[in-house]
Amino acid sequence: MTAVAALCRGFLLGLSTTEFTGLDGFLEVLDKREDPATRERGLLTVSNHVCVLDDPLIWGALPLRYALNPENHRWGLGSYDLCFTNKPLSMFFSLGQVLPTHRSAYSQHGGLFQPTITQAIRLLSRGPFLPPNNAPQPPRLPVRSPDLADPFTNGHLTFSTNGTDSFPAPSAYLNRRHSWVHIFPEGMIHQKEDRTMRYFKWGVSRLILESEPCPDIVPVWVEGPDQVMHETREFPRFLPRPGKNVSITFGNVLDGEKAFGDLRRRWQQMRAIEEGKSGPMEVGVLNDVLKYSDEAVRLREECTLRVRAAVLDVRRTRGHPDEDPKGGLAATYAIEGGKGEGRKADGSITREA
């Protein structure tokens, strides 16, 4: 992580024109969280997603000493079908604190309730969360498989994303208590001239409703990496382009209790009713009522719209006019026109990464 952060910082400060806004406030938040033993809550950062390199590039905004302390650095969600296809890649991204995440378009194991989201909720909460003693041991898979063992014990502190593979379970460790998780809730890259965002997927609402206690939430607005790695760039496509303007704007910490307290209380009431019926549930694990009932869905919708509004507030400080109020709704993206990646009828360019 330190090496990658150094490259990103070098690129941002040496080869780009950068503008960081609100960084001092964000560094203060990180400084207070330096010692996991004294943290009282997790940290959730939420941003728009404009290019494949957003993460790790944007963390080049942090002075290098922050990259020397992975315990006080972000956990991210990375696509299983891109970042976890074999052992070397799994190793690279796992050491980079990226969690293997299935995308529904590419995997039957995708969606809101996959075990990786449970890990993310637990990372934000007051851990450690030990896997059950009787967790099945993963079968021995070939060297080319993405499986990784837990390096420190005899292989128990792992979780499986699909029932047979195996990855270290970060939330099983005490020093990961109240961690920092970053999420791009648009769920894919979205480049559009007017810099509007897609609707947010609901995973972010699980992180807010179910983490205990409510994490601190910092909305972040990113502009410019879309020029560094523009989707229309030509050969050599894999090379980031120097000489662009990059701006990263950190919003103020949201008071989670004030912004989401009402939703969290309704969620906890629902949960208490369900636990009354069928016994206690583990953090990040839900029964069907909490997954699919109208009330649960409504809570997640409302929560997701509020987080998106918080990111829009930061966007507004960059001088962009307000978006069309329909911009936050999934239905609006029916007009993107055309399925899959690439240039859409509404002028945007998307990419599933």
Ligand X SMILES: *[C@@H]1O[C@H](CO)[C@@H](O)[C@H](O)[C@H]1NC(C)=O
Rule CB under 6 A: which residues touch ligand X? Answer: 17, 141, 145-146, 162-165, 243-245
Instruction: Pinpoint the alpha helices (H) of the chain.
Output: 2-15, 23-32, 54-57, 64-67, 80-83, 87-95, 115-124, 203-210, 225-228, 256-278, 288-292, 294-317
Least distance between ligand X and beta carbon 296 (Å): 27
Residue 178 token pair? 């109240």
User: Which one, 106 or 152, has the nearer CB to ligand X?
Assistant: 106
Least distance between ligand X and beta carbon 114 (Å): 12
Cα–Cα distance, 178 to 38 (Å, whole number): 10
Least distance between ligand X and beta carbon 228 (Å): 10
- If DSSP codes are grouped into helix, strand and coil, which group holds residue 101? strand
User: Which one, 14 or 325, has the nearer CB to ligand X?
Assistant: 14
User: Which one, 163 or 279, has the nearer CB to ligand X?
Assistant: 163
Cα–Cα distance, 267 to 256 (Å, whole number): 14
* Contact partners, residue 267, CB within 8 Å, separation at least 6: 209, 210, 296, 299
Residue 186's identity, in one-letter code, is E
144 exposure class (CB count in 10 Å sphere: 0-12, 13-18, 19+): exposed
User: Which one, 165 or 231, has the nearer CB to ligand X?
Assistant: 165
Least distance between ligand X and beta carbon 61 (Å): 17
Least distance between ligand X and beta carbon 77 (Å): 17
User: Which one, 166 or 304, has the nearer CB to ligand X?
Assistant: 166
User: Which one, 53 or 124, has the nearer CB to ligand X?
Assistant: 53
At 255, which helix (H) or strand (E)? Answer: none
Q: What is 75-91 written as a DSSP string?
A: EEEEEHHHH-SSHHHHH
**Tokens 């918080």 correspond to what residue?**
310
Least distance between ligand X and beta carbon 88 (Å): 14
Residue 301 token pair? 């919708």
Least distance between ligand X and beta carbon 162 (Å): 4
End-to-end CA distance of the chain: 20
Least distance between ligand X and beta carbon 83 (Å): 12
Cα–Cα distance, 188 to 78 (Å, whole number): 11
236 preceded by a cis bond (ω within 30 of 0): yes
User: Which one, 10 or 139, has the nearer CB to ligand X?
Assistant: 139
User: Which one, 2 or 162, has the nearer CB to ligand X?
Assistant: 162
